[in-house]
Structure 1
């Protein structure tokens, strides 16, 4: 193998498994490596450092290996400035553009390292030469003449390390299991949530209609009223069935207390949408007394934002639902800047949508009764997510109880 390059990687690279991933990827892609330096941290808080020479049969294969290793935070010994090329038209990327990860990223520009702002996965890095700033933007925001970063040269990624603090993310980092002790998991999630709130960061909840169907609507409404949730991301279904349940005591026509289907109940969700249409909006329906309680009621009363993104399956939809998908993406992004934790409960599609917009350092917990849904979120790129296999009707009331208990014991 005649072609080679030297790379470096630094941090908690052993207990985070980064070195194992680097070695495996090189060999899986038909390359080889030589360890030049390997300095292991002597204590838990000490970082480790490694310098490797990577070999490949051709320059093209070596480029491919470097591209893969780049996402684990490796860096070339001699870093060049990034290469830029202007976009030839709106939403048309230059050939060889750099596609972002959701990990913190910097670029070398004019011999200085500058942080890429608003990082998220599968986007583009746009550079503003006048102000020496770099921005992560989706394809929909690219405009003719914008300077776009090409390739991995001059780009540095900080791969997430195993958390050093004791807590939820140390307890079950990267795990999906239905066999872990549920009471312990819920208690640790409550602890993490309160830590996030104490730092002045926001907690977002991504919720699906299963929250209402399983009878957890009252518990979520209480969490909102007591200030544990700062933003609600959802769709037409959660809001519609929440309003239906508070107008008729049903969800999709089923009595939530008895589990029996109600005669004519199949029309209840349409009536609920129509009543909100008559009022003009969810907030207007609350203020006029049409909606007297529930999740959406508490959102309006608490003044917390709720973003309802529509889909092709929606009835109605409610007047508050954003039916333009690009507009919905922008609305989600505009509310994620101060989030320290996101709870995703009972909705795969909305969880993936929000997860795609999240930086990897935001603590993310996905709760679903179907283990495959939790795994799919992680496989889609939200690798920082912790999966909890549980029913929404069990999880949310248990989380509320744990939050209230910890608040009482600490006061």
Structure 2
């Protein structure tokens, strides 16, 4: 005997592909559907509505189908309150807990829909019935290692509403080009101008721009231009690794990056030791800020961060030399520091770093605009495949991209 439930879809569900994806999910998972109502928006800004009865042979199959439909934006016609169970111990979630997407999400609690705060992928949702300083109950995400015994954790898939971002119908405005995808064949100059416009618009409306950068920014000769952007107020936060900061500081102290003279491409005698000498000098001073205060460091990206009070997070890895005193070597502490930066960001510019791009991408809601630039298209593809589908990818040399971006922003503002 078959089982069925009715789901609803609302919004720009045709041109954004949501309707087709939902139908495909049902069929691919051995279910079937009947469209009971379908009202199509016939004008540009009108939304559409569909009610669809979904059926399957087994209750378990139907449950799995409904879960996938929920992640795509469908909601049950007759929603009930979300299931809630207390966490049995610290860092232990109840069996069947709801694992979040990075899309805006609501949960139904005591008959009312509550927005889930600080949404990011692969987290649990915790409900606070009292709400603290809030007017009424609140819901928010928690990573699994932060769960405490007794936390009220959302379980199952009922009483949960997910809102995937919809593809815009036109390409107007500075953000019109940001519709996902990666290509090495798009006009680079036009794309860079679009990114510059998007950054300028973000700053004009008081938004926050975060840069995630790898050592290739330094090696490729783009250091001075990124430093200019920091100094001129176009960067509000930087997330990077130990190596990025080391080579930026090495460039100031020795004129090299990983032992190579960036201007002449020559390798000075003992140049291969410059990075470890740099680390030693910064440790001797007590940290990057202290080295700047002493006058030991007087140029570069880290210098501009210190001088302009731009916060930075340097997350350590197992392969780090030193590391610098400012590098966070506890991986959980580094994740939490990145998470705080990411949740404040309105636009994130990822420059030539796969691991840090993925790490930051995991913390971002799907409403945060992301531009990822790398000479390797696999970097952007992997970021999108891991859930950051809002990412716009540019396949180009970072040493060309950053100077052109700086010129577009700084020359345009003069």
TM-score (norm: length of structure 2): 0.97
Matches within 5 A, 1:337-352: 337-352=343-358
Are 2:172 and 1:173 aligned?
Answer: no
Deviations 1:143-170 (A, max 9, x none): 0111100011001111111135614643
1:362 equivalent in structure 2: 368
Match of 2:153 among 148, 151, 176: 148
Are 2:407 and 1:401 aligned?
Answer: yes
Of 171-180 and 72-81, more deviation after overlay is shown by 171-180
Deviations 1:383-408 (A, max 9, x none): 11111111110110111111123323
Matches within 5 A, 1:199-278: 199-278=205-284
Gaps of 5+ in 1: none
Deviations 1:13-41 (A, max 9, x none): 11111111111111111111111111111
Kindly tell me the number of residue pairs found equivalent between the two proteins.
Answer: 408
1:57 equivalent in structure 2: 57
1:123 equivalent in structure 2: 123
Deviations 1:192-224 (A, max 9, x none): 111111111110000000000000000000000
Deviations 1:85-107 (A, max 9, x none): 11111111111000001111111
Gaps of 5+ in 2: 132-136
Matches within 5 A, 1:176-187: 176-187=182-193
Are 2:139 and 1:134 aligned?
Answer: yes
- For residues 340 and 368 of structure 2, what CA distance do their matches in structure 1 show? 15
- C-alpha contact 1:307 1:332 (8 A) present in aligned 2: yes
Matches within 5 A, 1:31-180: 31-131=31-131, 132-163=137-168, 166-167=172-173, 169-171=175-177, 173-180=179-186
Change (3 A) 1:118 1:73: same
- C-alpha contact 1:162 1:170 (8 A) present in aligned 2: no
- For residues 358 and 251 of structure 1, what CA distance do their matches in structure 2 show? 31
- For residues 2 and 137 of structure 1, what CA distance do their matches in structure 2 show? 37
SS of 2:149 mapped into structure 1:
coil
Of 325-334 and 284-293, more deviation after overlay is shown by 325-334
RMSD value, Cα: 1.1
The Cα of 1:171 is off from its aligned counterpart by: 2.6
- C-alpha contact 1:86 1:145 (8 A) present in aligned 2: yes
- C-alpha contact 1:167 1:188 (8 A) present in aligned 2: no
Match of 2:202 among 193, 196, 200: 196
- C-alpha contact 1:85 1:149 (8 A) present in aligned 2: yes
1:322 equivalent in structure 2: 328
- For residues 260 and 31 of structure 1, what CA distance do their matches in structure 2 show? 64
- For residues 227 and 176 of structure 2, what CA distance do their matches in structure 1 show? 29
Deviations 1:316-337 (A, max 9, x none): 0000000111111111122233
TM-score (norm: length of structure 1): 0.97
- C-alpha contact 1:163 1:169 (8 A) present in aligned 2: no
Of 334-343 and 259-268, more deviation after overlay is shown by 334-343
2:312 equivalent in structure 1: 306
Deviations 1:270-323 (A, max 9, x none): 010000000001000001011110010000001110100000010000000001
SS of 1:336 mapped into structure 2:
helix
